[in-house]
Amino acid sequence: MIAAGIDLGGTKIETQVFDRNWDVVARQRVATPKDYPALVTALAEQIKWAKSHGDMPVGIGAAGLVNPATGLALTANICANGMPLPKDVMAAAGARVTYMNDCRALALSEAIFGAGRGHRVVAGLILGTGVGGGLTIDGKLQPSGRQISGEYGHMSAPAHLVAAHDLPIVTCGCGALGCIETLIAGPGMTRLSQALIGRALSAPEIAEQRHMDAGAAKVWDVWLGLTAELLQTLSRISDPDVVVLGGGLSKIPHVTDELQAKLDQIQFNGFETASVHVAEGGDTSGARGAAFAAWQAQGSDDGAAVTGELK
Ligand SMILES: [Zn+2]
C-alpha cells in the first residue's frame, strides 16, 4: 500500500487505500457526523482503518480552508468552522496527516491521473454548489503559503458582462460583494435566470431546456460568457495547457465544447487557448488527490497543503 486518501464532504466521509499502481484496494464510506467531537472521532477512526492496511501516509481533502496562521478551519459545509480540525484529528488518531482543500485535491488528481496527465501546467476548476480549483505545475500543486490560491470563485465577476446584462451584485458567502461564484455556481445559475428572464430555473432545467427555450438559452449563454471570462483570467495569470472541469455543472452534456468555443472567441487574436476537459476520475478524484499529496509530502512540507506535526 502506498497511501490513503480521505474525502471529507458535508454529507459523507470516504476513505480509499491505494496500492503502488494507485489503484483503489479498499474503500469505506460513512456519513459525516453533525457535531464536532463526533467528526474528530470519525476521522481518527478512518485514519486508523486506513493504517490497518499498512503504515502509509494519509491525506484528507476537505471542503473549506484551514488558515495556516491559526490552524483553524473556515468551512460552511462541515461542523468544524473555527475549530482546529487537523490538529485535533492528528491528536485523536496519533498520526500525522496532510490536510488540504478538496478542490485542490481534485485538481492534483486530475493533473496526475486524469484529464491533465502528460501536461506541464494544469488548472482544475470545480463548478458545483461553489466554485474552486487548483493549479499544478510539473505534477505539483503550486506552493500556497496562506492556502488561498485556487479560490477562483471569489474573484469579481467581469464588470462589462455585469453591466451589459444588468446582473445582480450580491454578497457572497465569503463576505465579499460581487464574487463570480454568486453567478456561475449551481445556485448562481438560478440567480442569473431570475435576473435575466424572471424565472428561477434550476441549473439542470437550464441545461436541459437550453436548445428548446429562448429564456433558458439566454441564461445559458450569459453563464457561458461569465465562466469563459474566468477561464481567460486563469489563462492570463497561469497559462494552463489544460483546464479540467469538475463538480455537478461539469456533467452537463457538451459543456466543455461550448466553453471552449466561448473561450476561443475572447482569446487574443490568433493565439491558442487552454484545452477544456471534463474530469475523468469522478467521485474518486478527491480521495486520490489527497492521498497523492500526502505521498508527495512525506518528509517535507512543500506549502501546498497543511501538513501537521504530531504533538
Ligand atoms: Zn466570495
What is the predicted pLDDT for the residue at 299? 60
| Residue 108: inside a domain | no
Q: 126 alpha carbon to ligand 1 midpoint, in Å?
A: 15
- Mean pLDDT of all residues in the chain? 94
Residue 180 within any structural domain of the chain: yes
**Shared-domain flag, residues 258 and 123:** yes
Does residue 165 sit in the same domain as residue 78? no
Judgement on whether residues 137 and 162 belong to the same structural domain of the protein: yes
CATH code where residue 61 lies: 3.30.420.40
Give the pLDDT confidence score for residue 306 in this predicted structure.
59
Q: For the whole model, what pTM was predicted?
A: 0.93
pLDDT per residue over 147-161, tens digit each? 999 999 999 999 999
Asked whether residue 138 falls in the same domain as residue 253, the answer is yes
pLDDT tier at 311, thresholds 50, 70, 90? very low
Question: In angstroms, what is the span from residue 183 Cα to ligand 1's centroid?
Answer: 11
User: Max Cα separation, the chain?
Assistant: 60
> At residue 303, does pLDDT exceed 60?
no
Top pLDDT among 216 and 285 is at: 216
Amino acid letter, 110: E
CA of 24 to the centre of ligand 1 (A): 35
Percent of the chain with pLDDT over 90: 93
- pLDDT tens digits along 188-232: 999 999 999 999 999 999 999 999 999 999 999 999 999 999 999
pLDDT score for 285: 86
pLDDT tens string 51-82: 999 999 999 999 999 999 999 999 988 999 99
Question: What percentage of residues in the chain have a pLDDT greater than 70?
Answer: 95
CA terminus-to-terminus distance, the chain: 26
C-alpha 262 – ligand 1 centre gap (Å): 24
> Helix, strand, coil % (nearest 5) of the chain?
40, 20, 40
Residue 19 belongs to some domain of the structure: yes
In a domain, 265, yes or no: yes
Q: Are residues 59 and 201 in the same domain?
A: no
Distance 152 CA to ligand 1 centre (A): 9
Q: Is residue 109 part of a domain?
A: no
Cell of 282: 469522478
Does a structural domain hold residue 184? Answer: yes
Whether 198 maps to a domain, the answer reads yes
Residue 300 vs residue 75, higher pLDDT: 75
Does residue 304 carry a pLDDT above 70?
no
Q: What is the pLDDT of residue 310?
A: 43
Q: Are residue 184 and residue 289 in the same domain, yes or no?
A: no
Of 173, 176, 149, the closest CA to residue 75 belongs to 173
Distance 145 CA to ligand 1 centre (A): 20
Pick the residue with more confidence: 89 or 311? 89
Range of the domain at 169: 115-279
Local structure of 92: helix, strand or coil? helix
State the pLDDT at residue 297.
Answer: 92
| Rounded distance from Cα 153 to ligand 1 centre (Å) | 6
Tell me: do 129 and 80 sit in the same domain.
no
Instruction: For residues 205 and 302, state if they share a domain.
Output: no
Inside any domain, residue 31: yes
Spatial separation of the C-alpha atoms in residues 118 and 153, rounded to whole Å: 26
Tell me, yes or no, whether 97 and 31 share the same domain: yes
For residue 89, which phi and psi values (nearest 5 degrees)? -65, -40
Ligand 1 centroid to Cα of residue 106, in Å, is: 20
| 159 and 73 in a common domain | no
Query: Stretch 89-109: mean pLDDT, rounded?
Result: 96
> Does residue 202 share a domain with residue 166?
yes
Q: Based on the fold, state whether residues 88 and 23 are members of the same structural domain.
A: yes
pLDDT in tens, 118-129: 999 999 999 999
Phi-psi region of 253 (alpha: psi -120 to 50; beta: other; left: phi over 0): beta
How many domains does the structure of the chain reveal?
2
Measure the CA–CA gap between 239 and 231, rounded to whole angstroms. Answer: 10
